Structure 1
Amino acid sequence: MSGPQRIDLNFQEVPGVIAAYVFDTGDGLAVVDVGPASTLPALEAGLLDLGAGLSDVRHVLLTHIHLDHAGATGALLDRVPRARAYVHERGAAHLSRPERLLASAGQIYGDQMERLWGEMRPIDQDRLKVLEGGEILKIGKTEVLPLSTPGHAVHHLAYHVGDDLFVGDVGGIRLEVRQTPRAPTPPPDIDLSAWRKSIAALRAVDARTLSLAHFGSYPQEAAHWDGLLETLERDADFVRHGLEAGQSLEEITERYTAELLDELRAEAPELPGRYEFACPPWMSVQGLVRYWQRAAARSGAQPERRG
């Protein structure tokens, strides 16, 4: 296996939505973001295509604990006793005791939880390597640098490995090269200021390739980060203006979704359908509404305009 390899997890039988990345450490395979438990068979099949198997996995590097990134971790570790998972310190407890995380997701997805995500199994604490970000990990012959990158989630990490930078969701959603990166902003802990700082830190990393969970690998270049910042600010302002105008959540969501899908369709006709699997627009609206409402509560007034 020469260099990191991407495995398409074919979420809900739709290609190009959720990716896992695999590389050889010299001490077994590392997988960055194993995906939900519902796609574990696809991960196993992808490893077989690479001439490997689940039993070769020793290290699961999690960018964050959302179900589409980390849901299969417990099931994989149950099948591979020698493997361990790496996670930010603020997400570790949810992997050991996932009840609250699952209850929160259940309020959103209801009876679709099993179909979408499968079973999220708890993980023994002694099989977790808890990270702060900024450490230098020596895994086999490979140096891995976890980077604390909040904004999408308070417990988000990126991983710098040689020429490659695995950016999870803080690097945005970009389903193909023609698409401008978009920020996934689901609740509960979107933080625009932290996200801007994370982007500034990541764009300064000496890497050649950005690998996104949603979806694919792109050059580490200013155009990617500039596009992500532009759409992040535009989406946030769109929701803020709606709130200031007294629009309901339903009205804001309907207008946001229509404009977003029109923009994506103009970039590539097939993008809207795939994008809605990768990041349902209504979830992004809910996260931004929560962000602005919390900002207003802190200031005692409507959030101020930036710039």
Structure 2
Amino acid sequence: MTGLGGGPHLIDLNFERTPGVIASYVFDTGDGLAIVDTGPTSTLGTLEAGLHDLGATLDDVRHLLLTHIHFDHAGAAGTILARVPAARAYVHERGAPHLASPERLYASARQIYGDHMERLWGEMRPIDPSRLTVLSGGETLRVGSHDVQVVYTPGHAVHHVTYRDGPELYVGDVAGVRLTAAQTTRAPTPPPDINLDVWRESVAALRDLDVERLHLAHFGTYAGDSAHWDGLLTTMELDAQRIRDGLDAGQDVDAITVAFSAALMSELAAEGAELPARYDFACPPWMSVQGLIRYWQRRESRAPGVSR
């Protein structure tokens, strides 16, 4: 292995032949390579090509740091581990059982994506539990010569963690979707786990960390400043209120989705002509609507005086 350097290095997975949608991050630990979020199996060839461009191969990988288990972040983990016996994966304790036995996760996703499942995501191979380091948050991992801090950051998913390596913060989806520096950060809110109340707590914990850079899966590296987090919180509230207003008005899901998508895409287009098309791959608006509807319905069912 030559030419990699310390990192981190962004590898664009070119999801659906679209650049700037899903990223993996690679750095040299001194004990092999670490990959933060593998992406889906459908883009594994692109990940391998990116490693080759850095002077490395999959055989150099020893650590898969998974922020959460959604297909666009962890789908290829089992395939990589099957090909690289010396590697292992790190995952939150609420996600680990699904990586060991992904059948229910796969079946659930297939209900959403149908015949497009294989093309979009590829297979998700089970992982031997002995190859998993199970996390709860609060740990400091000794990964080669790096001390990597694990922060439990639910809100987007109950099994979401963030990894801090010195000045670098690998945030998965908890720091939102931001495809260019000009774009205001937006919260990806697919079902089933969206909880904006705990998401705000996760943001508060992360923005207090002394880091220089935020590494987003969707997409790129940005300064760890207040502007990023403020934008996320502002648009999170805006998007959630749009869904709430639609529900209060008695609109059905289709009507809410049409209105939400139109407003979102208009705002994105004002920040960059290419943003709506890319954002539709990174975070389809209809999925965000479904997650926010579920959030409001669950919140209402838990309100005092409401029967369950």
Q: TM-score, normalised by structure 1?
A: 0.97
- Name which of 142, 146, 149 aligns with 1:142: 146
- Name which of 295, 300, 305 aligns with 1:296: 300
Q: Deviations over 1:36-78 (max 9, x none)?
A: 0000000000000000010000000000000000000000001
Give structure 1 regions of 4+ aligned residues with deviation exceeding 3 angstroms.
none
| Cα distance between partner residues in 1 of 2:117 and 2:295 | 25
Residue pair 2:190, 2:288 contacting (<8 A) in 1 also: yes
**Letter matched to residue 107 of structure 2:** A
| Cα distance between partner residues in 2 of 1:117 and 1:23 | 24
| Cα distance between partner residues in 2 of 1:162 and 1:34 | 21
State the shift of 1:2 in Å: 3.0
- Name which of 24, 27, 30 aligns with 1:26: 30
| Cα distance between partner residues in 2 of 1:195 and 1:299 | 19
RMSD across aligned C-alpha pairs, in angstroms?
A: 0.9
- Name which of 25, 37, 44 aligns with 1:40: 44
- Name which of 250, 259, 270 aligns with 1:266: 270
State how 1:147-296 maps to structure 2 within 5 Å: 147-296=151-300
State how 1:47-58 maps to structure 2 within 5 Å: 47-58=51-62
Counterpart of 2:115 in structure 1 is 111
Give the total of aligned pairs.
302
| Cα distance between partner residues in 1 of 2:101 and 2:38 | 18
SS in structure 1 of the partner of residue 265 of structure 2 = helix
The percentage of counterpart residues that share the same residue type is: 66
| Cα distance between partner residues in 2 of 1:193 and 1:98 | 28
**Letter matched to residue 73 of structure 1:** A
Ranges in structure 1 where 5+ consecutive residues have no aligned partner: 303-307
| Cα distance between partner residues in 2 of 1:128 and 1:238 | 40
| 1:16 lines up with 2:20 in the alignment | yes
| Cα distance between partner residues in 1 of 2:151 and 2:39 | 20
| Cα distance between partner residues in 2 of 1:163 and 1:207 | 4
| Cα distance between partner residues in 1 of 2:304 and 2:254 | 24
| Cα distance between partner residues in 1 of 2:54 and 2:7 | 12
| Cα distance between partner residues in 2 of 1:300 and 1:16 | 44
| Cα distance between partner residues in 1 of 2:159 and 2:23 | 20
Residue pair 2:6, 2:29 contacting (<8 A) in 1 also: no
- Name which of 45, 60, 63 aligns with 2:64: 60
| Cα distance between partner residues in 1 of 2:7 and 2:218 | 19
Residue pair 2:138, 2:151 contacting (<8 A) in 1 also: yes
State the shift of 1:198 in Å: 0.4
Q: TM-score, normalised by structure 2?
A: 0.97
State the shift of 1:301 in Å: 7.2
State the shift of 1:299 in Å: 1.7
| Cα distance between partner residues in 2 of 1:224 and 1:83 | 34
Counterpart of 2:93 in structure 1 is 89
| Cα distance between partner residues in 2 of 1:217 and 1:93 | 31
State the shift of 1:296 in Å: 1.2
SS in structure 2 of the partner of residue 176 of structure 1 = coil
| Cα distance between partner residues in 1 of 2:107 and 2:276 | 29
| Cα distance between partner residues in 2 of 1:272 and 1:300 | 40
Counterpart of 1:305 in structure 2 is none
SS in structure 1 of the partner of residue 241 of structure 2 = helix
| Cα distance between partner residues in 1 of 2:135 and 2:86 | 19
| Cα distance between partner residues in 2 of 1:112 and 1:300 | 42
**Letter matched to residue 225 of structure 2:** E
SS in structure 2 of the partner of residue 299 of structure 1 = coil
State the shift of 1:300 in Å: 6.2
